[in-house]
Structure 1
Amino acid sequence: MSLFDTIRNTIVPVHKEGYPFVIAFFLAAVVLGWLFKPLFWIGLILTLWCAYFFRDPERATPQDDDLVISPADGRVSSIQMVTPPEELQLGAEPMLRVSIFMNVFDAHINRAPVRGRILRSVYREGQFVNAELDKASADNERNSLVIDGPRGELGVVQIAGLVARRIVCWSESGQLLDAGERFGLIRFGSRLDIYLPAGAEPRVSIGQRSVGGETVIAEYGSSKGPIISRRS
Structure 2
Amino acid sequence: MKFKLPIDQRAWPGSAILLALSFLLYFICHLPGWALVVFILWMGHLVFFRDLPCRPQETNVIYSPACGTVVDIETVAEDQFLKTACIKIGIFLSIFDGHVTLAPLTGEIDHIQYVPGKFLNALKQDSALKNEANWIVLKKEGKKVVVKQITGAIARRIYCDVKVGEKVAVGRKMGIICYGSRVEVYIPEGMSRLQVRKGDYVRAGQSILGAWINE
Counterpart in 2 of 1:94? 85
Kindly provide the CA deviation profile for residues 115-155 of structure 1, in whole angstroms up to 9, marking residues without a partner as x: 11111111010011111211111111001111112461111
- Structure 2 gap ranges (5+): none
Kindly provide the CA deviation profile for residues 12-39 of structure 1, in whole angstroms up to 9, marking residues without a partner as x: 7211111111111112222333322321
CA contact (8 A) 2:85 2:188 kept: no
Counterpart in 2 of 1:121? 112
CA contact (8 A) 1:127 1:139 kept: yes
Counterpart in 2 of 1:40? 35
Q: What is the percent sequence identity of the aligned residues? A: 27
Q: Residues of 1 paired with 2:209 and 2:88: CA distance?
A: 11
Partner SS for 1:94: strand
Tell whether 2:8 aligns with 1:18.
no
- Count of matched residue pairs: 210
- Structure 1 gap ranges (5+): 1-7, 224-232
- TM-score normalised according to structure 2 size: 0.91
Tell whether 2:196 aligns with 1:204.
yes
In the alignment, residue 85 of structure 2 is paired with which amino acid? P
Counterpart in 2 of 1:73? 67
Q: Residues of 2 paired with 1:150 and 1:211: CA distance?
A: 25
Tell whether 2:49 aligns with 1:54.
yes
RMSD of aligned C-alpha atoms?
1.9
- TM-score normalised according to structure 1 size: 0.85
CA contact (8 A) 2:82 2:188 kept: no
In the alignment, residue 157 of structure 2 is paired with which amino acid? R
Match for residue 82 of structure 1 among 76, 93, 110 = 76
Q: Residues of 1 paired with 2:56 and 2:182: CA distance?
A: 21
Kindly provide the CA deviation profile for residues 145-178 of structure 1, in whole angstroms up to 9, marking residues without a partner as x: 1111246111110000111001011101010011
Counterpart in 2 of 1:112? 103
Tell whether 2:177 aligns with 1:182.
no
Task: Write the mapping of 1:126-165 to structure 2, written as runs, cut at 5 A.
Answer: 126-150=117-141, 152-165=143-156
Partner SS for 1:161: coil
